[in-house]
Structure 1
Amino acid sequence: MTASTRSSRRFLLGFALAVLLIAGVVSSLASSSPDGLDAATTRGCDTVETDTGASLVGDCIAKNAEDHHLSASPLADYTVSGRSGLTGVAGIIGAAATFVVAAAAFRLLARGRRHRAGP
């Protein structure tokens, strides 16, 4: 292994660790309050608790909204299986998954360039 390869691997490992640390810390600081889009779409409605959960009453855009098809997935709403105290873990899992997908894509691109360049 050359010094350049070792240096690149050391950089990537350090970068990955920094990303995971930042993802864990920053995502644990995420606010559970509605963001601007949620606030704007619920303007004109009141939230009423029912036996089946919260319901919107009034005239607003969000009244006709439906749940996303992945809303029951294990990492929905920046939680791990619905436990909101694990937002840091959800951030780390999301960052790690992104890193793995990006690394695989870069390897495929590099392999394609090597084959195109020829022997």
Structure 2
Amino acid sequence: MKTRVFLLVGLLVALGLAGVVSNFASAHPDGLDSVVRDGCTYDAADNKTGGTCVADRAADTQTADSPFADYGIRGIDNPYLSTGLSGVIGVLVTAGIGGGLFWLVRRRKPADSPV
């Protein structure tokens, strides 16, 4: 029983973080993006204004047109709702896959053993 409560509380915390706190993530480039942009200059709207850098060779991934690209859900105009829902869906899918894998590989007691 304690394990189920622990897992449920953990899932609820993860859903809360994904659905609410994810909207407060910084939109500024992280460490890797900063290194890749080294040598280029950008304006306030994040448009390249000059220079040469590794980011010049960047291209969209094959999943750029997917419904969940760019940390949001295509078709939902509210960015907070879009980001929050995509986070919640991501947590639920990950928990479902992880739970399903654990269920498949769990140890089972032999049928003839006493409980």
Runs of at least 5 residues in structure 2 that lack an aligned partner in the other structure: none
Whether contact under 8 Å (1:27, 1:87) holds in the other structure is yes
Secondary structure at the counterpart of residue 26 of structure 2 = coil
Bigger proportion of residues as helix: 1
| Matched pairs, number | 105
Change (3 A) 1:36 1:8: closer
How far apart, in 1, do the equivalents of 2:26 and 2:87 lie?
Answer: 13
TM-score (norm 2): 0.73
TM-score (norm 1): 0.71
Counterpart in the other structure of 2:23: 28
How far apart, in 1, do the equivalents of 2:93 and 2:27 lie?
Answer: 23
**Shift of residue 89, structure 1, vs aligned partner:** 1.6
Q: Percent of aligned positions with the same letter in both sequences?
A: 39
How far apart, in 2, do the equivalents of 1:98 and 1:81 lie?
Answer: 20
Q: CA RMSD in A?
A: 2.5
Match of 1:107 among 98, 103, 107: 103
